[in-house]
């Protein structure tokens, strides 16, 4: 899918909680149809970045321009803007008192005032594609984690957003359910939906991303294609981070290759 | 204005009598709370047990106590016990008895809730560490249960204090009854007497109950995590 | 016990029970409305009104209804505000109940997580829509036990209404006790209160059970 014009421009974005600065001047441009995967150690500001883009956090400085509109303008009509920015959360956050279908229809019917038949047709289309149309009348508590997350993705998609934000959407899932959710996102990527994805699934990141954004301590440390980033990271910090996901060097019956006994998997010496 | 207020409280032994009334109010509620704890804890433990008979019976008792207005119970015991079964109890004893019957029921439910809310995993992990059942109860379950219980107990105390004016109906000279007597006498010459006296009583109740409920909320918040 | 005496006097109790029920009904409805208003002002943290609501809640929750009634019925006329016994009863019950209802609703609103609010915001719901479609339904389910306890508490509290000269059940019973038929009178009194309060308690218990099975709220 071809990459289109710029849709999202972030310039010198700053955000702090009290004294702690979480985003320290972030600059980033996203083009239409691009898939950005944002990775980095916990506390690096990945989630905060997504939340700022959706107006869930107030920004302290800098600019966010989305489709020609300044989201950093305090006059922003967030209800209207959020219809164009879909967001999926780590813990699904389906509304427990509504069925899967009602969860999906709430936005189109109440916020966008669409016709019932039209909204229903859209919901049916998406639910069928994620394989859950026959579960439409189930309440969230009757669904597995993976099913809930797929419904949550459809809930965001049903608003017909221009960009999707995924905030660690597989972090709460049992391992065997991670795949079914990631496959949905992968399909969306192929179809050219613009997406910002925060994840810890490195193999998935490699597969889905057009660009990898490596964030550490509130700044972008690397912005590279997945091949470059994973095979040849430019900075020490990125190398160190990627090492966390590497177990090849260790085997419990041997010492660590390369360094002597100081590997994170060797128990500390107490006596 | 203030003059008339001053007069009501300084006339005769009015202030002293009000304080005596307050003494009766506190005596009833605090004694009843103490007795309720004494009775309610074993009742609650029985309710939490898995043997079928006791919990059902106690449940029935609790539902009756909850549905029946305390005032009706006071009437029942004051007029029936003494006159028809020839048991002569003073109004004071009847009050304490009724408040205890009510309090013990509520207390047992609080205890049951506190004990059953400590998760089964706590039991299991205690046992898995090799502790005996007694040790698990003593070191793991009871300390956690007490934390969950205490805010409720304090809450019940303020409810008891706020219910004491009911003894007015069986002619016990509590704070409210004394207030009414004072208003009757002073009201003839001092039209604002009722405003001052009932306002004063309102304030006293507030000054007793508010700090207690603040304390209960503080404990709840502190022990929530 | 003398059955003919009981039958003879039961119309008096039925009339008194009706009056109690009517007063309790209005007290509960108005309490719920007042409580809802307070809870919403506190939920949105509207300045000043939310503090005022907070002060009112503390004042009403920490004082007995009887003292509130005495003040309304005997105190206020002295400063020029004369209220009938029935008005006092309903105003007093609402003053008390509004605070308890506000606390019940607050508990429910607080139980709806910040994440649910954010999920609602993320699909573009406005502030009012958020309350109506996401927060309120969940909060109500959580509040139900507290609401039910408050309704029953208020119904029981009506038993003090005779102090403002309302011919309710206690008033009638006290009157009849003078005839020296304590057992019959007390029987009628208990039966009357059981008849009006027990069904309410059972209905709420069923509702709570239904919601528990629906599986949200806890």
Among A78, A88, A93, the strongest candidate for a mutation testing the C interface, having the largest count of C CBs within 10 A, is A93
Query: pLDDT tens, C193-208?
Result: 999 999 999 999 999 8
Does the CB of A89 have a partner CB in chain C at under 8 Å?
yes
B50/B48 Cα distance (integer angstroms): 7
Q: Which residues of A85-96 are buried (b: 16+ CB within 10 A; e: fewer)?
A: bbbbbbbbbbbb
Q: What local confidence, expressed as pLDDT, does residue A33 receive?
A: 93
Q: How far is CA A154 from CA A90, A108, B175, in A?
A: 15, 12, 64
Task: Report the SS3 class of residue C19.
Answer: helix
What residues of A are in contact with residue C136 (Cβ under 8 Å)?
none
Residue range B19-31, pLDDT digits in tens: 999 999 999 999 9
Q: How far apart are CA B135 and CA B125, in angstroms?
A: 12
> Are C126 and A79 inside 8 Å of each other by CB?
yes
Q: Chains A, C: CB contacts under 8 A, how many?
A: 69
End-to-end CA distance of chain C: 48
C70 touches chain B (CB under 8 A): yes
Residue among C23, C64, C196 with most chain B CBs within 10 A, to mutate: C64
Residue A170 is encoded by which pair of tokens? 């597989």
Q: For residue C81, what is the nearest residue in chain B, using CA coordinates?
A: B195
Region A122-129: what's the mean pLDDT? 95
Residues of A within 8 A of C138 (CB-CB) are 95-97
Strands A219-224 and A211-216: antiparallel
% pLDDT > 90, chain B: 38
Q: Is the pLDDT at A169 greater than 80, yes or no?
A: yes
Q: Report ipTM for this prediction.
A: 0.87
Q: Is A170 exposed, middle or buried (0-12, 13-18, 19+ CB in 10 A)?
A: buried
Confidence of residue A268 (pLDDT cuts 50, 70, 90): very low
Q: Does the beta-carbon distance from C163 to B168 stay under 8 Å? A: yes
Preferred mutation among C123, C141, C143 to probe A, highest tally of A CBs within 10 A: C123
Instruction: Give the model's pLDDT for residue B139.
Output: 85
Confidence of residue A116 (pLDDT cuts 50, 70, 90): very high
A108 is in which domain, residue-wise?
Answer: 6-243
DSSP symbols for A181-205: HHHHHHHHHHTT-EEEEE-S-HHHH
Q: Which residues make Cβ contacts (< 8 Å) with residue B10, sequence separation at least 6?
A: none
Is pLDDT of A253 > 80?
A: no
Residue A162 burial (CB count, 10 A): 16
Share of chain B above pLDDT 70, in %: 96
Strands of the A163-167 sheet, one edge to the other:
A85-88, A163-167, A194-198, A35-39, A211-216, A219-224
Q: Is the distance from CB of A87 to CB of A52 less than 8 angstroms?
A: no
What confidence category does residue C184 fall into, taking pLDDT thresholds of 50, 70 and 90? Answer: confident
Distance from the Cα of C37 to chain B's closest Cα (Å) equals 22
C133-161 mean pLDDT: 93
Residue C112 has pLDDT above 70, yes or no: yes
- The minimal CB distance from B202 to the residues C58, C63, C177 is found for C63
pLDDT of residue C68: 93
| Contact between C63 and B72 using a beta-carbon 8 Å cutoff | no
The string of pLDDT tens digits covering residues A201-243 is 999 999 999 999 999 989 999 999 999 999 999 999 999 998 8
Helix (H) or strand (E) holding A36: strand A35-39
Per DSSP, A63 falls in state: E
Residue B63 reports pLDDT greater than 80: yes
- What rounded mean pLDDT belongs to chain B? 87
Domain with residue A211: its CATH number is 3.40.50.300
- At B214, give phi and psi (nearest 5°): -60, -45
Interface contact flag, B206 C64, Cβ < 8 Å: no
Out of B68, B176, B199, closest to residue C190 by CB: B68
Chains sharing 3 or more CB pairs under 8 A with chain C: A, B
Distance from CA of A48 to the nearest CA of C (A): 13
User: Is the predicted pLDDT of residue B155 greater than 80, yes or no?
Assistant: yes
A24: confidence class by pLDDT, cuts 50, 70, 90? very high
- What was the pLDDT predicted at A125? 95
Q: What is the sign of the dihedral through the CA atoms of C77, C83, C86 and C90?
A: negative
Name which of C28, C155, C164 is nearest C83 in CA terms. C164
Report the C-alpha gap between A108 and A125 in whole angstroms: 14
Please enumerate in sequence order all residues whose Cβ is within 8 A of that of B54, keeping only pairs 6 or more positions apart, or say none: B46, B47
Mean pLDDT across A65-86 = 91
Domain ranges of chain B: 2-224
Confidence of residue A250 (pLDDT cuts 50, 70, 90): low
Among chain B residues, the shortest Cα distance to C1 is held by B84
Closest chain B CA to residue C156: B69
Average pLDDT over residues C3-28: 92
Rounded to an integer, what distance in angstroms lies between the CA atom of residue A269 and that of residue A86? 49
Measured between beta carbons, which residues in chain C are less than 8 angstroms from residue A95? Answer: 116, 119-120, 133-134, 138
- Give the Cα separation of B17 and C193 in Å (integer): 35
Cβ–Cβ below 8 Å for B176 and C177: no
Q: Which of B219 and A267 is assigned the larger pLDDT?
A: B219
Helices (H), chain B: 2-10, 14-48, 53-67, 70-75, 82-84, 91-117, 120-128, 133-136, 142-163, 175-186, 193-224
Chain C nearest-CA residue for A92: C119
- Indicate whether A271 pLDDT > 80: no
Instruction: Indicate yes or no: CB of B168 within 8 angstroms of CB of C79.
Output: no
**Which residue among C116, C125, C141 places its CB closest to the CB of A110?**
C125
Within 10 angstroms of residue A32's Cβ, the number of other Cβ atoms is 18
On chain B, the residues whose CB falls within 8 A of the CB of C157 are 69
How many domains, in total, are found in chain A? 1
> Would you say residue A173 has pLDDT above 60?
yes
User: What's residue B95's pLDDT?
Assistant: 94
Name the band, by pLDDT with cuts 50, 70 and 90, for residue A187.
very high
Q: Do C71 and B199 touch (CB under 8 A)?
A: yes
C146–chain A nearest CA distance, Å: 19
At residue C32, does pLDDT exceed 50? Answer: yes
The CATH H-level (homologous superfamily) assignment of domain C3-214 is MetI-like (1.10.3720.10)
**For residues C184 and C1, is the Cβ–Cβ distance under 8 A?**
yes
Check CB contact under 8 Å for C124 and A111.
yes
**More confident position, C5 or A9:** A9
The gap between the terminal CA atoms of chain B, to the nearest Å, is 51
d(CA C129, nearest CA chain A) in Å: 8
Contacts of C68 in chain B (CB under 8 A): 202
A96-105, A254-263, B126-135, C169-178: segment of lowest average pLDDT: A254-263
CATH class of B2-224: mainly alpha
Query: Could B198 and C75 be called an inter-chain contact, meaning their C-beta atoms sit closer than 8 Å?
Result: yes
């Amino acid at each position: 899918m071809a990459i289109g014009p710029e849709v999202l421009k972030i310039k010198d974005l700053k955000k702090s909680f009290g004294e702690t600065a979480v985003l320290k001047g972030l600059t980033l441009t996203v083009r239409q149809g691009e898939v950005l995967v944002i990775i980095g150690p916990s506390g690096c500001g990945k989630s905060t970045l997504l939340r700022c883009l959706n107006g869930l956090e107030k920004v302290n400085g800098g600019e966010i321009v989305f489709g020609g509109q300044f989201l950093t303008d305090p006059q922003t009509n967030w209800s209207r803007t959020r219809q164009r920015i879909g967001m999926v959360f780590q813990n699904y956050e389906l509304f427990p008192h509504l069925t899967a279908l009602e969860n999906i229809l709430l936005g189109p019917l109440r916020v966008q005032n669409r016709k019932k038949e039209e909204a229903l047709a859209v919901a049916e289309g998406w639910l069928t594609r994620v394989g859950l149309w026959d579960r439409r009348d189930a309440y969230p508590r009757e669904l597995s984690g993976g099913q809930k997350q797929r419904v949550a993705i459809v809930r965001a998609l049903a608003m017909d957003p221009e960009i999707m934000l995924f905030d660690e959407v597989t972090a709460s899932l049992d391992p065997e359910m991670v795949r079914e959710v990631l496959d949905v996102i992968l399909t969306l990527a192929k179809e050219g939906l613009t997406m910002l994805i925060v994840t810890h699934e490195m193999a998935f990141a490699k597969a889905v991303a057009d660009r990898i954004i490596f964030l550490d301590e509130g700044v972008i440390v690397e912005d590279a294609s997945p091949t470059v980033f994973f095979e040849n990271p430019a900075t020490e910090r990125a190398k160190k981070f990627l090492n966390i996901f590497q177990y090849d060097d260790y085997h419990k019956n041997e010492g660590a290759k390369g360094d002597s006994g100081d590997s994170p998997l060797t128990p500390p010496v107490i006596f | 204005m203030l003059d008339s207020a001053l007069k009501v409280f300084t006339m005769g032994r009015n202030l002293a009598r009000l304080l005596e009334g307050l003494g009766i109010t506190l005596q009833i509620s605090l004694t009843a709370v103490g007795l309720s704890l004494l009775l309610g804890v074993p009742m609650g433990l029985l309710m939490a047990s898995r043997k079928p008979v006791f919990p059902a019976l106690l449940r029935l008792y609790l539902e009756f106590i909850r549905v029946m207005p305390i005032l009706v119970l006071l009437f029942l015991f004051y007029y029936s016990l003494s006159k028809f079964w020839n048991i002569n109890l003073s109004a004071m004893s009847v009050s304490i008895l009724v408040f205890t019957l009510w309090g013990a029921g509520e207390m047992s439910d609080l205890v049951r809730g506190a004990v059953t809310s400590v998760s089964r995993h706590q039991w299991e992990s205690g046992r898995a560490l090799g502790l005996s059942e007694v040790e698990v109860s003593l070191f793991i379950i009871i300390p956690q249960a007490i934390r969950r219980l205490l805010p409720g107990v304090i809450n019940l105390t303020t409810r008891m204090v706020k219910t004491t004016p009911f003894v007015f109906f069986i002619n016990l000279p509590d704070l409210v009854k004394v207030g009414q007597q004072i208003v009757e006498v002073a009201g003839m010459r001092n039209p604002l007497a009722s405003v001052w006296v009932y306002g004063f009583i309102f304030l006293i109740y507030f000054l007793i109950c508010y700090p207690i409920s603040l304390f209960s909320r503080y404990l709840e918040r502190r022990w929530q995590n | 016990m003398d059955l003919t005496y009981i039958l003879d006097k039961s119309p008096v109790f039925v009339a008194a029970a009706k009056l109690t029920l009517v007063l309790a009904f209005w007290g509960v409805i108005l309490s719920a409305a007042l409580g809802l208003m307070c809870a919403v002002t506190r939920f949105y943290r509207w300045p000043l009104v939310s503090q005022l609501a907070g002060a009112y809640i503390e004042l009403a929750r920490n004082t007995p209804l009887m003292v509130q009634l005495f003040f309304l019925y005997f105190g206020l006329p002295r400063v020029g505000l004369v209220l009938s016994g029935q008005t006092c009863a309903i105003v007093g019950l609402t003053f008390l109940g509004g605070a308890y209802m506000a606390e019940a609703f607050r508990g429910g609103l607080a139980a709806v997580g910040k994440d649910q609010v954010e999920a609602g915001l993320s699909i573009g719901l406005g502030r009012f829509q958020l309350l109506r479609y996401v927060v309120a339904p969940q909060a109500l389910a959580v509040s139900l036990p507290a609401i039910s306890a408050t309704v029953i508490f208020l119904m029981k509290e009506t038993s003090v209404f005779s102090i403002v000269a309302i011919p309710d059940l206690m008033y009638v019973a006290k009157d009849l006790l003078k005839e020296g038929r304590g057992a019959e009178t007390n029987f009628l009194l208990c039966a009357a209160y059981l008849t009006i309060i027990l069904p309410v308690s059972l209905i709420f218990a069923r509702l709570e059970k239904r919601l528990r099975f629906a599986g949200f709220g806890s």
